[in-house]
A and B are shown apart, each in its own frame.
Chain A
Amino acid sequence: MVKLFFIVAWRNLCREKLITAIQLAGLAIGIACFILIRQYVAHEQSYNLSFSQAENIYRLDLIRDQNRPQALTPLRLGDELTQNFDDILASTRISRSRVTVKHQQGVYSQRVQFVDSNYFEFFDFDFIEGDPLTAMSGPSSLVLPEEAAIKYFASDTGIIGKTLTVNGVEFQVTGVVKKPAFAHTMAETMLLPGERFNEFALANPDWADSWTFNATVTFVKLARGAQAASLQANISDYYQQRAAGLSSYKSYWLNLEGLTKLHLYTDTSRTLIPQGSGVMVTAFSIIAVMILLLACVNFTNLATAAAMRRGKDVGVRKSLGASKLQLVVQYLSEAVLQTTLAGLLALVLVWGALPYFNQLMDVNLSFEFSAVLLVELLLLTSIVGVVAGLYPAFYLSSLSPALVLKGVVNSSPVGVMLRQGLIVFQFAIAALLLVASLGVNWQMSYIQNMPQGYDREGVIVINGGADIYNTFKNQLLRNPDVAAVTMSHTVPTKATRTSNVVRRADNVNDEIQVGSNPVSYDFFTTYGIQILAGRDFSRDFSNDAYRENERDWKSSTGSIIINETLATALGWGAEQAVGKMLTLGGGDDGLHNHQVIAVVEDSHYISVKTAVPAMIYVLSGEPQELSLRWLSVRFKGAADASLLGELEQTWLSLSPDQAFTYDWITAEFSSLYRNESRQSQLLNVFTLIAVVVTAIGLFGLAAFNTRRRVKEIAIRKILGAGTAQLCFMLVNQFSVLVVLANVLVLPLAYWLLRDWLNGFIYRIDMPYSAFVLSTLFSLLVAYVTVMVIAYRAANATPVDALQYE
């Protein structure tokens, strides 16, 4: 009996090859998408879960005034809190910097992290060799990740005790960390002892004890049962008391962010690795379910349509004594059989698509065939099969045998309504995704193409080089391909680190918080930042350089260039501002006045998701004076490898121990939007898939409907209908549904898009054309899809159709 049942099911699948193929393909695509996205979501949600004490570990995030939380905190914070709060059992710090590593003949510029000796008590990574508990305890300890071990020693074992020279100091390898197979938010870099940070990275040793110099990421381990909320208030209070008045910020707050929440559910700047987006993960989960639903709808739709053909089957079975339940079970099992086939096909699709998906999302998901996966898949396909097969099964089993045997069974009004409703539903989802992806793409391209207030083409930026700057610059300027060279504290695409408070000298009570960028000569020329009024810093004016006099604040010197936003905030036009006096200082520092010599256009330092802050530029007479960190070079035309090679030679001739590494500002700029670009790409892919799945379903249904009307088409043809007339008739039945779907979904799409766009300061207007385009595009898809079928039907010889009767 079971065998017979499978034979019947199989023959049914084979009898309608096209419809079966369509049903299976659509469903397989849907299931494959669902599996892929589910894997991705699980991966995104798994960050830090593998650390054994993850539940008790928190990161301290610092909020200054109304600013976005930042992960960087004072170096002394962790110890202070551990000593003064019983609920905080331990703390560990991670500070980042770039160092020069010498090994044998090579000189490498390398990002490293300086960590406390208890780092591995917090983050239990597996070691290939070495002891995690003691690895970071000595002042010359060095722990390498697997990749770095291979890079320097061509092996990840047997290297304990070998040495590397970092910034001229010799370090001994004490451990090699195995590349973790799990997701986490720690950067996998070379690790150096925390105490070396002060020596290598702090220009002023006093900063290590400062309450306002934020340079390290602090993690704390809380006692079991500690109340994070009340503790947060207490430590914030503690910190506020110590930091108040030391800088221009008025209020401070410390957030305790749980380790497992860091990746998706925080919006913190200066983190060790870029965060994921919880919103996007949720959005993609919804999209995954939507695509799966679309595929189920296809399946149901085609199954109910095909059910009409099986009316006779029902009649015969019922007249032979089959009960309604038996029939329901039979048709449902057939549906589950089909979805299981689709599930297997989906596995093949996932297997094939995974490399592309990994590339697209920059993740490393692997596809391992396991019993769990198989059970999950079986469960999923069974559910899909039952859900999708339910209506056809009940519809079929409730047919009256007397009527179906006479051939009276035909499209029931409910069935037709259901199928049309499902088509509307599908096109509504497709239209929603179309509008969303159009809106998102346009907004993304708008913010990436809008004027940034500087010219990013043809500029490279090099980290460090203050000590050789003057000579290096002179030599470079002799090269005809170099247009300008400068040095600055920060550069566009990187955040401003320092802040200040300015006031009009004639109104010192009105304070304005500003970002500050100390620069060398030629900064504005190098970055193509327009001077709107006034003049650039110049060697012709000896008092341009900014020098604070801590003994007599009033005699501090230096000219100031401000940006347009600040000029406006101060109540001046560009021309008006030039020559005015600004008062800086405050807190522990005395007040000092400086003259505005120019107003420059607003430049976006970080992505345009934030507004341009009020900015001042001050001149660092020599690069060391105001600790300038980035050396920038503008080329006249395209720079080729040989030109960059010349630069490197020049650099190494001046500073043989310092690696020459550079980044193009254009690349840095793109990386600011990497997450957004990736997500809009993913949205595009899913939109395309949704449209394809919808089109597949429509194709199947159109094929079915058309075949049902084959006789009618033949009659009409004999009566004189032309091919175009017939095609139009066949296509037209769907266009009303497509338009209806679009109209129904517009309010939701409008509402979602408006909300999303409101999250941007610089944004496009509500793109109404996206709604029109989506409608036109779905109509086009529907027309092309149905036309393929319609054209074939309309061109068939009418006699065949009539003989088919």
Chain B
Amino acid sequence: MIKLQKIAKSFIGDEIETVAIDGMDLTIDKGEFLSILGPSGCGKSTLLNVLGMLDTVNSGEFHFLEHQVATLGEAQRAKLRKQHLGFIFQNFNLIDELTVEQNIELPLYYQKVAKSERKARVEAVLKRVDISHRRHHLPAKLSGGQQQRVAIARAIITEPDLILADEPTGNLDSNNSAQVMALLQQLNREGATIVMVTHAPEHVSYGTRAIELLDGKIISDQSISDQRITAELQEVSCG
């Protein structure tokens, strides 16, 4: 589904150039639930932004489905984003002025989905993430866990091919975290491809594969099958 070849990305500051991704190769198949781990500043978020087509790369090739993303303009990338991707953020990024329902409906509105269908799909998704009872509330009235469930609902309402989650549990307590992770795992089992950046090694076990980054490079790549690997990963990513 996704193939990155020799991807490089650096930020040029006032005086120094910071290398965020350093010639990375990565392939992600359909149906995977990939966790990205690594210490702060190792390039996790940059990688996610590149995958989400929110940011451009300096060099390398980026194939998404049949598209060579690196050569696309902003308008085309926006179109791909709209059609294939769903986003979940650490700080939820709900629009404060819109109700739960309106927030969830927004992507469909931008995809010009007919009103009746929008209503039906919002209805279904609300049930799915179990937030129907707060549908008319503004985000500020919800708990963190509830807000993140709304954000997940918004991410999945377009039935995206790929869900990108940037530390989805970073702002949540352990109880809410477990609920959100369970929800993501369920989505994955139902066929969604998920790429998640996380600081929490214990959440790696909800996924199917984990990579670890350091200084813009992949230093380990494991499929999640046994607890030992998970434990090892937990040790390295605590830093």
Interface contact B78-A717, CB-CB below 8 Å? yes
Contacts of B94 in A (CB 8 A): 715
Q: What's the minimum C-beta distance from B108 to chain A, rounded to whole angstroms?
A: 9
Indicate whether B93 reaches chain A with its CB closer than 8 angstroms: yes
Whether a CB of chain A sits under 8 angstroms from the CB of B154 is yes
* A711 touching B93, Cβ below 8 Å: yes
Closest to B157 in A: A719
**A716 and B95 contacting across the interface, CB-CB below 8 Å:** yes
B107 within 8 A of A: yes
The 8 A CB mask of A771-805 against B (1 = contact, 0 = none) is 00000000000000000000000010111001001
- Could you say which of A717, A721, A797, A802 contacts B89, with CB atoms under 8 Å apart? A802
Is the CB–CB distance between A719 and B154 below 8 Å? yes
Across the interface, do B95 and A718 meet the contact criterion of CB distance under 8 Å? no
Within 8 Å CB of A798, what residues of B? 54
Residues on B with beta carbons closer than 8 Å to the beta carbon of A716 = 95, 106, 110
Chain A residues with Cβ below 8 Å from B49 are: 799
> Scoring B residues 53 to 97 as 1 if CB is less than 8 Å from chain A, else 0, what string do you get?
011000000000000000000110010011000010101011111
B5: chain A residues within 8 A (beta carbon): none
Instruction: Give the residues in chain B near A711, CB-CB below 8 Å.
Output: 93
Q: Is A712 an interface residue (CB 8 A)?
A: yes
Q: A802-B89, A805-B91 are in contact. Are A718 and B54 (CB under 8 A)?
A: yes
In the bound complex, residues from chain A placing their C-beta under 8 Å from that of B78 are 717, 720, 722
Across-interface contacts of A795 in B (CB, < 8 A): 74
Contact of B95 among A715, A797, A799 (CB under 8 A): A715
User: Which residue of B is nearest A714, CB measured?
Assistant: B93
In the assembled complex, A725 has its CB within 8 A of some CB on chain B:
yes
State whether the Cβ of B40 lies closer than 8 Å to any Cβ in chain A.
Answer: no
Q: Is B143 an interface residue (CB 8 A)?
A: no
Are B95 and A720 in contact (CB-based, < 8 A)? no
- Name the residue of chain A whose CB is nearest to the CB of B140: A408
Q: Is residue B111 within 8 Å, beta carbon to beta carbon, of the partner chain? A: yes
CB-nearest residue of chain B relative to A711? B93
Note all chain A residues with C-beta closer than 8 A to B75.
722
A705 to chain B minimum Cβ distance, whole angstroms, is 12
* Closest B residue by C-beta to A799: B54
For chain A residues 693-719, which have a beta carbon within 8 Å of chain B? 711-712, 714-719
Q: List B contacts of A714 (CB < 8 A).
A: 93
With contacts A717-B78, A799-B49 known, is A725 near B91, CB below 8 A? no
Asked if A719 contacts B107 (CB within 8 A), the reply is yes
| Interface residues on chain B, size class | 20 to 34
A638 to B110, CA, bound (A): 67
Smallest Cβ-Cβ distance to B83: which chain A residue: A720
Query: Contacts of A722 on B, CB cut-off 8 Å?
Result: 75, 78, 110
Give CA–CA (A802, B93) in the complex, Å: 8
- Give the complex CA separation of A27 and B18 in angstroms: 44
- Partner of B55 from the list A717, A719, A720, A799 (CB cut-off 8 Å) is A799
CA distance A725 to B89 in the complex (A): 23
- CB within 8 Å for A719 and B54 given contacts A711-B93, A712-B95, A802-B89: no
Q: Is the CB of B111 within 8 A of A720?
A: yes
* Contact present for B107 and A797 (CB under 8 Å): no
User: In the complex the two chains form, what is the Cα distance from A716 to B106 in whole Å?
Assistant: 8
A720 touches B93 (CB 8 A): no
Tell me whether A715 and B93 are in contact in the complex, defined as CB-CB below 8 angstroms, given that A720-B111, A799-B49 are known contacts: yes
Closest chain B residue to A798, Cβ basis: B54
Which of B74, B91, B97, B110 is close to A719, meaning CB atoms less than 8 Å apart?
B110
- The listed residue (A720, A725, A799) touching B81 by CB distance below 8 A is A720
What's the least CB distance linking A720 to chain B, in Å? 3
Q: Which residues of A contact B154 (CB under 8 A)?
A: 719
Q: How far is the CB of A607 from chain B (nearest CB, A)?
A: 59
Which of A719, A722, A795 has its CB near the most chain B CB atoms (within 10 A)? A719
Q: Which of B83-133 contact A (CB under 8 A)?
A: 87, 89, 91, 93-97, 106-107, 110-111
CA distance A586 to B94 in the complex (A): 95
Chain B residues with CB under 8 A of A712? 95-97
Provide the residues of chain A in CB contact with B97, threshold 8 Å.
Answer: 712
> Would you give the shortest CB distance from A196 to chain B, in whole angstroms?
86
| CB contact between B110 and one of A721, A799, A805 (< 8 Å): that residue | A721
Q: When chains A and B are docked, how far (Å) is the Cα of A283 from the Cα of B91?
A: 56
Give the contacts of B133-189 with A (CB-CB under 8 A): 154
Q: Chain B contacts of A720 at CB under 8 A?
A: 78, 81-82, 107, 110-111
A797: which B residues are within 8 A, CB to CB? 54-55
B81 near A718 (CB under 8 angstroms)? yes
Min Cβ gap B94→A in Å is 8
B110 contacts A725, CB within 8 Å?
Answer: yes
Chain A, Cβ-Cβ closest to B89: A802
Residues from chain A with Cβ under 8 Å of B89 in the complex = 802
How near does chain A come to B140, taking the closest CB pair, in angstroms? Answer: 9
Residues of the A chain whose Cβ atoms lie less than 8 Å from the Cβ of B91: 805
Most buried by B among A711, A715, A720: A720
B17 to chain A, nearest CB (A): 18
A712 CA to B94 CA, complexed, in Å: 8
B74, B78, B111 pick with most chain A CB within 10 angstroms: B78
Chain A neighbourhood of B96, CB < 8 A: 712
The reply to whether A718 and B111 contact each other, CB–CB distance below 8 Å, is no
CA distance A795 to B75 in the complex (A): 10
* Whole-angstrom CA separation of A200 from B154 in the bound complex: 98
Give A617 to B154 CA distance when docked, in angstroms.
90
A710 vs B52: C-alpha distance when bound (angstroms): 19
- Binary interface profile of A, 719-731, with partner B (CB < 8 Å = 1, else 0)? 1111001000000
Q: List 15 A-B contacts (CB under 8 A).
A: A712-B95, A712-B96, A712-B97, A717-B78, A718-B52, A718-B81, A719-B87, A720-B107, A722-B78, A722-B110, A725-B110, A797-B54, A798-B54, A802-B89, A802-B93
| The 6 nearest A-B residue pairs measured at CB | A720-B82, A720-B110, A719-B107, A799-B54, A715-B93, A712-B95
Beyond A715-B94, A719-B82: 18 further Cβ-contacts under 8 Å? A712-B95, A712-B97, A714-B93, A715-B93, A715-B95, A716-B95, A716-B106, A718-B54, A719-B87, A719-B110, A720-B81, A720-B107, A721-B110, A722-B110, A799-B54, A799-B55, A802-B93, A805-B91
- Chain B residues engaging chain A, CB cutoff 8 angstroms: 49, 52, 54-55, 74-75, 78, 81-82, 87, 89, 91, 93-97, 106-107, 110-111, 154
Residues on A lying within 8 angstroms of B by beta carbon are 711-712, 714-722, 725, 795, 797-799, 802, 805
